[in-house]
Structures are given as C-alpha cells and as structure tokens.
Structure 1
C-alpha cells in the first residue's frame, strides 16, 4: 500500500461502510501546509504521530510539540494492541510493521530534553512585546531599546541584559528622548515589571546562550530517515503565551535563515504547531499579519507548517486559506459556536456527492477523519471519510529511563546542556557605570581638596601657629630676605624671640626712668 513519493494516511470507506480506496498525501505538496482539527479524544495526537512517522520515513526532518507527553512514544518500538491489530485488518494495511524512530528531545527547562534557548536580540521587539503583553507605547520604548543596543554595541543575550539596558534608558531618559523621541519613564518601569514577571514564570530559561541552531532540528540519520525533534511542552503549557511565542520565534528563524528553494520533491522540514489556537488568542493585528506572512512565504523555503487545534475557527481565515492538506476529526455541535465551527470546517473541503460533509463531521468515530489533500497541480482532492492508519511507534509516553537513554545517544548530547555567559549588555553597562562612578568620586575628592586649600589660604593665623602644611619636621614658615625666601630653623626663631624679650625689658626700664625723673 505504500507508494513512492506519497504518504499513506489511511483508507476511505463508502457510506455503506465498505472500503473505498487508500488515501495518500503527495510528498511534493507537503510544504503546502496543513491542519489537523477535532474535539478532544477524537484521535488528533495519533494522526499527528502518523504524519510525523511518515515524513521521517521519507527522509524529512520533523519538529513537533508534545503537549501531554504522549507523542514521546514515537521513539520506542510499537507495541501490539487489540485496536491496532483490528484497524490494520480493517483497512487492509499489509505493510504495517512496528518500528522506532530517530528522536531528539528538547525542553526549554532542560528537564525532559536538551535545553533550547534563544537570545533576546534574536527574539526581537515584536515577539518580546507579545510575550510581555506590552501596550503600543511600551512596544515603542522596547523598539528604542533595541535600536540603542544595536547602535551602542550592546549585545542583548538574556533578560538581565535587557533589564540593564532599560535601567540605563530610565537614568538617561532626557538626553535619549532628544535623539529617539519621548522615552516615558512610566513605560520603562512597566517593561521592567514585565521582565520580572517573565523571570518568575521561568522565561529566563529560554533566553541565553548557547542559542539553538536551526540546523540541529533539520538532521537526517545515516539510513536516510528524518530526525523527529520533540519539544516537551507539558510544563511549558503552564505559560501559554511563552509557548506560542517560542514556536512563532522558531518559525520566524526558519523563515529568515533558510534560502529560497522553490518547489522540491519533498519538504526540507515539517513543523507541527499543536494547540495552535494559543498563537492567535488576543494577538494584535501586527502579529497576525506576521504569522500570515511567514506561513505564506516559508513554503518557498521548503518548510511545511501544520496546525493542530480543536476548532478550525481557532485559525484566522487569512491563514486557514493557505492550508492545503486537511484532516478533520469529529466535532461536537451543541452550541451555536460549535455549529458554526462544523459549518466552517465543512465549507473548507471540496464536496463529495456521496455524503453530506457537515453531517459526517458530527458522526465520525475515534480515529476516523475527513481527509482532503493536494493532488496534481495542487488541486484539493475530493473529501473522503477515512479510517486513519495506526502508527508504527508506541502509542503513549516513554518512561523516564527510556527518555534519558535517547538523550544520551542524541547527536546534540552535551551541546546545549551547559550555560554560557559571555560579555554582553549587562557586563558592558555595569563596567561603564562603575567607571563613571569612580570618575565622579575622583572629581568630588579633587573639588573637596581644592576648597580646603582655598579656605586655608584665606584664613588669618598668628606667626608660628595654624595648620600650614609647610610646617613639618620642626621647621617654621619661610621669611623673606634679600634674594628670596629662606626657611628659619627652630634655634633661629628662639634667638629672635629672646632678643625681642630683652629689647622689650630694656625699653620698659627706660620708660620707667624717664617717667620717674618727670615726677621729681
């Protein structure tokens, strides 16, 4: 049933439940993006695993997030289970065989996979504003911060670098405002509080070095299979905004770094974005436009993007219109919004006259889906009601010991596990502040000394007394003589004092004698 250049998804059936035909996805159209939707418990994760395994077997690297940990089982050999055996027989999948696949585990927190980081500079002001839920004014201040960093040679690697730069901006707001426009201290203070919140939520684990190289998620093995990079997202999902921002950053990095390649026989990478609604919830217009741009243009870089979510309404129409490969699991239709979602999903398919698409969506069983893929010349195939084939890897999570074994044998083992702290904005600004403080202290000390000298010079003192610094080692101040100044010794000063005393006594005696003669 496996065909060269195609991915086998399952077998469709007729309205009378008889088998119809095998359903394939053309590998050459794998970069035309896709979507997998359905209510909880309808089989989306298994479908995601089937797609990931199929792309890997075809030599296409895969990146996927693992929300519940179930996808990690793809790294272990498949186990015989009753429902798997039954489905294999039901669809006539004669080529089915259990297998294990080359997996690289990643984790922002470094607990269930290799550490994955980026720098603040690579994240950029737009995505960082989204992460911090910044207002327009705060986003403007953040853009100025990045401009100052670029112009001033201040590398922004981690959160403490950005915090130091914001402090610098607050201290020099007046002079910077004249160059870059008004910098509000209130906006800076709000951004600083936002950074503190990010640190408390664990975002500091995401920013730093060594930064992830996109080439490390685009590996193939010696036997030609594509490596499957799985991001452990169970803990990351506690901060949905960080989760969505990280995946959007990764898409943006792929878009910016990969060269244009046009249409290939198979994609260079396939990217699965699970819980995709988190990307678009409360997202500003500029961010939606960014996602639309990346999805539209990254196809020419050889990258296929597949959104996995519960409801097709979670994805904006501008993005939904670009998703050519569609797998729709069952939806419930109890509320008006759910009924609208069913209609939206039905309207995105090329109709099949054999059944009503909207009705079928509400009647699909577990592991059953409506499938439509791109055929020759990129035309969508007629929608078919399809039983999805079972995956070859294990369905369910791996144990901690199995996960650690995979990590130890990983091609990137030891490459991202140790933190680096190179000289960046924090160290540079700290050194500048220290140097400026030392210069100010020296200047104040010099000014204080000069004032003390001026005060001493202007103060009247008795000869031989006072705090003249020149009086030392038993010497007296200099006296003026012909030809210059000459310093008196202690003995000379004593002799002069004695002479003055004698002269004073003789003078007094003469005065008394004169006065006495006058009395007579």
Structure 2
C-alpha cells in the first residue's frame, strides 16, 4: 500500500482509507453475522501499522485475537488471493482494559470528573433529582470536598439532605425525597458492581496514546462483554471518554495521520433514551474533536441508530448487508443507500440486501475531502487471529503490559467521606459514643478544612438520693390535698370567667 493509506478491500481497484482524512470519523454498519467485526479488526490493524494508537470496545471478546499471531485459515488465505495481496500472519501490540478489573487493567474515573450530567444519565434521574444532584456538586466545590467514589457522593447527599432548608433558600428547593431517590439508585449501581468504575487512580488519556518500541500504535481493547449487562454504564463510559479526550487534548489541526482512533461498537447504546442535552454533547464532540487529531468510528447494525446530526459528520463509511424484512428495515436500507454517492454501475439499495458475508459497500473521503463513489468491495482479511484470545494468553499480555501496576491497586485518599466524618466526630460531645462507620455522614455547616472546636464537656448533676416508697397513709393525705387544691382552683377559675362574661354583657 502507498504510504498514508490503509487497505479496506478490493473492488475494481483497491479501496483505501486515507490517514490524513481518518479524523473525519466513520461508520461501520450491517446486520449480525455480515462481517462488521472482521472489518473493525482489519481497520484497527491498519491504524496500528501506521503508528496510530487505537481504542476499541470488544463486545463479544473476538477482537482480543489480534494480540495473537494469525493462524492462516483457508478462507482468509483464499480471500487474500482473490483481492491480489499476500496473506502474512501477524500480531499487534495490545493492552487489555476492563471496568471490573477482571480481564484487563482496571478503568476508573472519579465522580467529579464524570460530572452531574453523566451521573444523572447513569442513574436514570428525572429533572428534579438531577437538579438536586447539581446542588450537591456545587456545594462540594464550595466546601472544598473531593468527590472521588460512590461513598463520597453518598456522604455529600446526606450532607445536602441535613441542610436542605439552608440550601433551598440559596439554590432552590431541595427535597429529602429526591435525595432518597438518588441514594436508592446509587445502591442499585453498587449492586451491579459498577462501584469499581469510580475511584483512583483514574485513567489518564495519555496511557491510551502509546506506541510500541517498533513504532506501531498500541491497540487498547476494552473487555465489554460483562459491561454490556449494564448498557447504561457502557454508554455513559463512552460518553465520558469522548468528553475527556475533547477537554484534555490540544488543538493540532489537520495532521498527516490521527493521534488516535476510537471504535465504539454497539454505538446505538449511546443514544438510546438519551436526553437532548447529551445528544448535543456527542454531536459537538464529534464535530470539534477532529481538530484535536482524533478519529471516532461508530459500529452498529442500523444507520438509523445514529442521529442525523451525528451521522452527517461521519465521512468514511463501510456498509455490510442489511436485511429488509420489516417496514423499518426497508426504511433503513433506503436511508443507508441515500447517504452514499451513487454509482451508476449498480443499484445501491438492491446491493445492500444482496451483499455476501465479508463483502461491503465502501465510500471514503478523497484527497479534497469529497466522498468517493460507492463501490462494492471484498473486505481484506485481518493478519491477526480472528477469534478470542485464551485466558492464559490474555494473562501473559497483561503481565507484560507497559501500564502494569499503574492502575491495578486502588488508592483511597482523604476526600468528602473522610472529611465529613471528621467534622461529625468533632462536633459531637466527647462523652458521646462514636459514630458507626459505613452509614450516612451527617455534618455541620462550614468550611471543609476548618474543624469546629470540640464542645465543652458538660458537668454532671449531683446524684439524687434514692427515693423511698410512700406509705398508704401518706398517699391518702397527699391525694386529699391535691383534690382540695384542684377544687379551690376550679372555683377561682369559674369566678374569674363569670366576672369577664358579666362585664362583656353590660357593654
């Protein structure tokens, strides 16, 4: 291949992806079993050869195989011969990641870095509850309280609930019911083992942008098979990752090759039930992150899964076969066909339904940024293994990883939970029993760093002498005295009442 190009496959000519236009993003679509994963692997290998780091979410575990030498299976050797290239088995530098820390290095971020908008989406909060969550973040900032993990957020919510009256006067209504609803959603999140995602050390974007000693880009593979059991956590993670890239990377303009490329499989989960604000956020990131040298490639079954505002930003497209069994499927086929620059040699809409496995319609951006005419293309075979790596192979790669030991051990430094606990203990009387750990952390209002002086120790009242049980005669005399006193009091009250009524009647 010429320098600066990645081979996608062969039509009447080689179909390539130009590296200098790879940051214009892309889309890989097609029905299940039509070859999307093989296409994704081939593109990832091409970027790695060109020295571009890659991040890819591995939904089924199949992508992990590119870390192992290709086995030269007959279908791939035959396909290489069909398109006129030599099949050469290869393996690619790989780093495995896993939100749960089971199949790769743990991926973490802090509550503060995630922010209230993404946390609200993750917890599926309504507008009122999201407003209360925003207040909690605001108060934490003003109080200098770090929100790193879920226990910090729980402690902060308890603090907000206890001071709801003061906060309502300044920020708007803070209802304890909304705080309780958020706490319950946090519990659900913890039960799904998502608490592992929040904490320190947090992932540094620079660790995803590494190259190997031989100059090839490292392929970062996120084990997402278990993560997909919680689609909301998966989509929130992808949104956070895009936001972090956008915020941290400097403007570089157009480069000869991207600084990094991301492949987001099952991309429709990003937009399912997403509020308009989040869709606009994704659109803004996709539109502007190009100037930071990052390419984003969405992988999904149906082009209709991607909002039009995002779809219009995706210049490089690979369309595998779609099945038109239902009216919605037929609409998807028409929509996919209309997005291509038409080729007079064939009917694009008909071709989409007749493509074989491993065959696709391909259109990429040309030298001047205009999309090429769509071509019916045989996809080039990957050089790495097609299929998952074994557990033993995965462990070997993790042990030799360039980030080994950097994220594997959790750090729990002093943050909101610990500071609020200290303030609570300092505000309690010294002779009071210590507060139990693990529960909510009520606190006093004030600066986070300024701990109130301990309350002065109260003096105990002198002990009273033990009481003696009264005798029967004493009780009779006492009762008679009490009865007489009540009788006298009643008579006096009646006299006063009559006097008042009489004076009112005479007026």
TM-score by length of 1: 0.84
Residue 431 in structure 1 maps to residue 430 in structure 2 = no
Of 56, 61, 75, 1:64 maps to: 56
Structure 2 counterpart of 1:316, from 307, 311, 318: 307
- Once the two structures are superposed, what CA deviation does each residue of 1:171-211 show, in whole Å capped at 9, x if it has no partner? 11111212222111111110000110110011101000100
Alignment correspondent of 1:361: 352
Distance of 1:164 and 1:440 partners within structure 2: 24
Corresponding residue for residue 81 of structure 2: 89
Distance in 1 (CA, whole Å) between partners of 2:157 and 2:462 is 40
1:297-355 deviation per Cα after TM superposition (whole angstroms, max 9, x unaligned): 11111000000000000000000000000000000001000000000100110000000
Contact 2:428 2:455 in 1 (8 A): no
Do structure 1's residue 135 and structure 2's residue 95 form an aligned pair?
A: no
Alignment gaps of 5+ in structure 1: 13-19, 457-520
1:402 aligned residue? 393
User: Corresponding residue for 1:117?
Assistant: 108
| TM superposition shift of 1:164 | 0.4
CA contact (8 A) 2:207 2:403 kept: yes
CA shift for structure 1 position 86? 1.1
Which residue matches 1:102?
A: 93
Matches of 1:43 and 1:283, distance apart in 2: 28
Q: How does 1:117-516 map to 2 (within 5 A)?
A: 117-438=108-429, 446=458, 449=460
Is the 8 Å Cα contact of residues 132 and 178 (structure 2) preserved in structure 1? yes
1:438 shift after superposition:
2.7
- Once residues 301 and 193 of structure 1 are traced to their aligned partners in structure 2, the CA distance between those partners, rounded to angstroms, is 39
In structure 1, the residue matched to 2:7 is 8
Contact conserved, 2:54 with 2:262, CA < 8 A, in 1? yes
Query: Aligned partners of 2:430 and 2:8: how far apart in 1?
Result: 71
Distance (whole Å) between structure 2 residues aligned to residue 111 and residue 356 of structure 1: 48
Deviations 1:419-464, CA, capped at 9 Å, x for gaps: 1000000000111111112379575962x64x669x99xxxxxxxx
Give, in whole Å, the separation in 2 of the partners of 1:361 and 1:423: 57
- The match for 1:30 is 22
**Inter-partner Cα distance in structure 2 for 1:337 and 1:274:** 21
Determine helix, strand or coil for the equivalent of 1:438. coil
State the partner residue of 2:486.
none
State the distance in 2 between where 1:438 and 1:87 align: 79
Greater than 3 Å deviation, 4+ residue runs: 439-445
Task: Return the alpha-carbon distance in structure 2 between the equivalents of residues 270 and 169 of structure 1.
Answer: 41
SS of residue paired to 1:31: helix
* Secondary structure of 2:279 counterpart: helix
1:64, 1:278 → 2: CA distance? 15
Aligned length: 444
Deviations 1:97-139 (A, max 9, x none): 1100000000011111001100000000011000000101111
Further displaced range: 436-445 or 173-182: 436-445
Q: Provide the C-alpha distance between the structure 1 equivalents of 2:177 and 2:130, rounded to a whole number of angstroms.
A: 13
Q: Deviations over 1:385-433 (max 9, x none)?
A: 0000000000000111100110111000111100100000000011111
- Structure 1 residue matching 2:360: 3-state secondary structure: strand
Counterpart secondary structure, 2:115: helix
SS in structure 1 at match of 2:17: strand
Distance 1:137 1:203 in 2: 24
The 2-side partners of 1:437 and 1:296 are apart by: 54
Instruction: Report what 1:78 is aligned to.
Output: 70
In structure 2, do the counterparts of structure 1 residues 175 and 260 end up closer, same or farther at CA, with 3 Å as the change threshold?
same
Mapped to 2, the partners of 1:372 and 1:206 lie a distance apart of 38
| 1:54 is aligned to 2:46 | yes
Q: Rate the CA distance shift 1:440–1:28 in 2: closer, same or farther, 3 A.
A: farther
Indicate the residue corresponding to 2:36 in structure 1.
Answer: 44
Q: In 1, Cα distance between the equivalents of 2:290 and 2:185?
A: 35
SS at match of 1:145: helix
